[in-house]
Chain A
């Protein structure tokens, strides 16, 4: 037990801690170790810096841009103008500042990416934990088959069908992405759970009379959590790309301006034929930056938590 704690800790301090305190102490230590490996990875730190910048932009977007600036009926600029003074990135065909659209878009795109991921990871982790914990039983077979089905079905076509049926609202877009992107998480969590459940401490908890639900949530989940977290970070990248694809196909919510919606509106306004590059290019670059940042952070975390994968860098 004591070997898990950093050296030099006075033993009496540890002795006076409650089990809960001990558990949190251990989690804090392991977070510290992860952070120090993460910090030494240049790719990961680049990604993190990009994410912090866009995160702050999204957080403070209501202070930077007023609602009126992106309201098509209130726009004041000249339509389809290349960058001029006052409009550093030019305007769209309503005369809205493209820079203002991008700032508002950062908020919507990140919200969609993060909430869809939350949904996907919740479904995936639940399915994976239950399936892995009851590995080999009938429940496992049913859940694994379901996971395999969702891995096999062309997700984009399923997403299109669902989005077309449900209708283009922001909530539906989030729902559709969550429903179509949980399967990878489920498969990874199941594999991890299968190996964790045979560890002695899980057996001990069972011997002490813990229920299955309590073992899964208190003993297996904390152990599997790092893997879930790394997978979640990678899923955000996929979710943001999916949102873009759905938006370009006209399945996004036209009233919530995401980066994907900006691209779609530029596309439909003939930005390509007319050469409105200032309108078309920036939202794509934002998507690339954020997707790349999440991917680089996710790869780094995956490498730290799952050493067998230490080969991507």
Chain B
């Protein structure tokens, strides 16, 4: 039964990936200008390199053949060349992964920890001063455009107060502890922006599942047994109420790239998000295509992980 559940989820993930690959192929074929013309626009690509790309991706072939070649090349890791730099897209991407993972990973982690703790406390003491306060701040943060929040923090903390650098990854190429401190100083404001942007949804999800669980009969039973409030909350309510937040956390990890685009742009943080922004401005379609593929792939993978983990944590869902 368990194997069949996992197999079904894997099958769905593969189907979704095929959908993304197809969307990726056809979306970039419906735009004005043919792919050969677009590649030829590049000043960095030598005529030989251009010919090689046309041959590799079968761009002079009819559409169905192009589609199959595209699938084959993409699945073997060849994402084409950047129109602007002329270098392999996969290499360009690889150099940008680490800063993004560092930034968004840290931001998501902080938001999840604070959000879940605040949600537990708020939901358990519904309508208390703390609950009202954390709920309203969550709604306010949810309604705030992330990019604008980042700009605001920049004006205040980098401009007026001058506490933090205005952007970038590091000011000087030192090594060891000095370099670590340098990167951390650059990292502070973008991480703060992301954490503030995400924390609201964690609070709201955790809070509402705490409220739901609190009404359950087994909590009443625990109370009737004479257990104290803190024990019931920690050992009876939280483990069950945590499931939806767990899913949200895993899915947020998948959305890493999507979340980073605006914040990296505002803070000139040299990750995948800034690369995307530059690709938009340069109309560097091969890079955009690869970004869409990678970010969708990450979400699909995160979904699969969440589904399978959920099957273990809550065996009831397997029957669904």
Contact = CB atoms under 8 A, between A and B. Distances in A.
Contacts of A271: 151, 155
Contact of B145 (A145, A244, A273): A244
Contacts, number: 134
A257 to B, nearest CB: 16
A274 to B, nearest CB: 8
B147 A244 contact: yes
By CB atoms of chain B within 10 A, which of A245, A249, A291 has the most? Answer: A249
Interface stretch (B45-53, B107-115, B273-281): B273-281
Interface string A152-170: 1111111011101110000
B151 A154 contact: no
B31 A165 contact: yes
Contacts of B19: 149
A248 B140 contact: no
A160 B288 contact: yes
A267 interface: yes
A244 B265 CA distance: 14
A160 B280 contact: yes
A145 B14 CA distance: 13
Nearest to A275: B159
Given A271-B151, A287-B148, A164 B258 contact: no
Interface size band for B: 35 or more
B288 A153 contact: no
B211 A311 contact: yes
Interface residues of A, number: 45
A288 interface: yes
A157 B140 contact: no
A156 B147 CA distance: 13
Contacts of A292: 139-140, 143
Nearest to B208: A311
A260 B151 CA distance: 13
B166 A272 contact: yes
Interface stretch (B56-64, B79-87, B217-225, B291-299): B291-299
A65 B155 CA distance: 29
Interface in B1-45: 15-16, 19-20, 23, 27-28, 30-31
Given A152-B16, A273-B166, A280-B155, 8 more contacts: A155-B258, A160-B288, A165-B31, A249-B261, A249-B265, A283-B148, A284-B151, A311-B211
25 contacts: A153-B299, A154-B295, A157-B291, A157-B296, A160-B280, A161-B288, A164-B285, A164-B288, A165-B27, A245-B147, A267-B147, A267-B151, A271-B155, A272-B154, A275-B155, A280-B152, A281-B152, A284-B144, A284-B148, A287-B148, A291-B142, A291-B143, A292-B139, A311-B211, A312-B204
Closest 4 CB pairs of A and B: A154-B258, A291-B143, A284-B148, A292-B143
